[in-house]
Structure 1
Amino acid sequence: PASSVDAERAFSIGRRQINFMQHNMSSTSFRGKMALGSWLGTPLDPGIEEAAGIIQSHMPSSTQSSTDDDDVM
């Protein structure tokens, strides 16, 4: 059935996401990585600039100010 193909594809992609350097990645990070990867090329993908803005808006203010300083030329 079509639904099993999607599940098999997800497991196949997930297996390739963790290499020997990422074996201790948290489950939350892994789920986030899989979700973002599945959105690429779809209407859910806002583009890298919008995604970076969303991430920065959720970061603590001390981290935001240090990244903002890096952007100034």
Structure 2
Amino acid sequence: MTSPTQLFDDVKELVESVVMRAVDGDTLLIEDGLVDSVLAVEIVLRAEMLFGVSVPPTEIAEHLHSVDALTAYIAANR
């Protein structure tokens, strides 16, 4: 079982690899323009592959609000 800290680090690394810059846990990904629809789909596809969690397309914006939000969603749906 992955610790909450390790899960956060793994999700943060995933997001940073897509946006190609460092982000904080509470950085507003979509609102700050770091993630557009193409990058959002890329993050979701990678999250599905790495963590086995499906993010419904209608909920992508909600769960990609920040690394913290995506980590919480993955933790709750594993």
TM-score, normalised by the number of residues in structure 2: 0.35
Which is richer in helix?
1
Q: Report the structure number with the largest CA radius of gyration.
A: 1
Name the structure, 1 or 2, with higher relative contact order (CA <8 Å, separation 6+): 2
